[in-house]
Amino acid sequence: METESEGYRKIITLLRASKPELSSAEKLESEIMQRIAGKSRAVVAADSFISFLFGWTYIGWVRRSLITVSIILVAFFIWQQSLIVRQINVLNSRLLISEIENVKYQPRVDGKKLLMMGKSGSGFSDGEIEFSEDKIEKLLESYATLKSDYGELLKLINEDPELKKLIEEKADQNRIKKFKL
Amino acid sequence: MVGDEDNAKDIVQETMVAVWQKIGMIKSAVAYRSWVYRIVLNKCYDQLRRSKNNPEFPADDKTWKHLSEIISGVNPIPFEKEDSARILDILTNRLSPYQKAVFILSEIEEMSHDEIAEITGMTKTIIKANLYHARKKISEMVEKYLK
């Protein structure tokens, strides 16, 4: 190579012939051995401590018993988890049924409209049906009036046996007419 | 490589302890040499990084005169082992750590570029470039001081 001069070549040749070496190699070797021995002593001490703590796990029957117990515990845990999941599913389905059966309404935030939840498969269509608040109030009022009037009417009929008999006869006649039709 | 015998001894000690601790990880004898060199080299890089701010010590005229006398003879006298370290340190003083590593492995240890690549993790192109610059710097120094 162009960069190498004759002097450079000579120096490299001489350096290759007498490579640098560390002095007092024996001392260095003994120091290394001491460090290694010190580290190995530390490793042995750690091993013996671990052996003292957990050495009993290497006894055959203890190990087999531990394995058996751990398998039983794991199986129990899996069974328990599956049971809990099943119970949660049952409870969820119950809650859903009770929610569907109760047709509820609740005022919206604006307070002007009511929200009625539709029951699937019944007279309501799926989803939400909105009524005005006035209409719902009127409906509830007329239902309450009708209920009280009906109660009073039943009370009157029960108190008067002749009236009761007359009504029953009329009802029988209506049934016969319907049947003929 | 590190320019100080005490540091070199520390590196040798640390390397031997690391070798003793991790010898089980070596699967083949072929990989062993490169692995040991790699440990040494990494420790040298660490040492050079730590002593980065240390002032350089240029060789004095007496040392260059002595060196000139040695190599100017028809049959140059081989260096003493202690002198070799000193001369090598003077020659590589201005090189970067990578140039120094490539120069020592290639020129002094006479390793192939493949071996150097395995030890240093450098590509062959980078090795060649580092070696070129190292040779150039050292040649310039030799030409300047030994004439």
Let me know whether B95 and B79 are in one domain: yes
- In which residue are the tokens 């969820």 written? A92
> B28-77, pLDDT tens digit by residue?
777 788 888 888 888 888 888 877 655 555 666 777 777 777 767 666 66
* Contact state of A7 with B142 under an 8 Å Cβ cutoff: yes
Is B104:B134 a contact under the CB 8 Å cutoff? no
What is the C-alpha to C-alpha distance for residues B138 and B79, in angstroms, rounded to an integer?
18
Let me know whether B48 and B92 are in one domain: no
Mean pLDDT of chain B: 81
> A45-72, pLDDT tens digit by residue?
787 888 888 888 888 888 899 999 999 9
Domain of residue A51, residue span: 29-58
Contacts of B82 in chain A (CB under 8 A): 23
Contacts of A5 in chain B (CB under 8 A): 139, 142-143
Contacts of A8 in chain B (CB under 8 A): 135, 138-139, 142
Q: Which contiguous run of DSSP H or E holds residue A128?
A: strand A128-132
Count of domains for chain A: 2
Measured in angstroms, the CA of A19 and the nearest CA of chain B are apart by 6
Let me know whether B40 and B83 are in one domain: no
The tokens for B61 are: 């005229």
Count of domains for chain B: 2
Q: How far apart are the first and last CA of chain A?
A: 126
Let me know whether B119 and B91 are in one domain: yes
Let me know whether B68 and B130 are in one domain: yes
Q: Which residues contact A157 (CB under 8 A, 6 or more apart)?
A: A163, A164, A167
Let me know whether B79 and B122 are in one domain: yes
What is the C-alpha to C-alpha distance for residues A83 and A77, in angstroms, rounded to an integer?
10
Domain of residue B31, residue span: 1-54
Residue B94: pLDDT over 60:
yes
User: Is the ipTM beyond the 0.85 threshold?
Assistant: no
Query: What is the pLDDT at residue B125?
Result: 92
* Contact state of B12 with A28 under an 8 Å Cβ cutoff: yes
* Contact state of A19 with B13 under an 8 Å Cβ cutoff: no
Q: Does residue A79 lie in a domain region?
A: yes
pTM of the complete model? 0.51
Contacts of A32 in chain B (CB under 8 A): 12-13, 16-17
Q: Where residue B77 sits, what CATH number does that domain have?
A: 1.10.10.10
The tokens for A95 are: 């809650």
* Contact state of B5 with A22 under an 8 Å Cβ cutoff: yes
> A9-39, pLDDT tens digit by residue?
888 888 888 887 777 777 878 888 888 777 7
3-class DSSP state of B71: helix
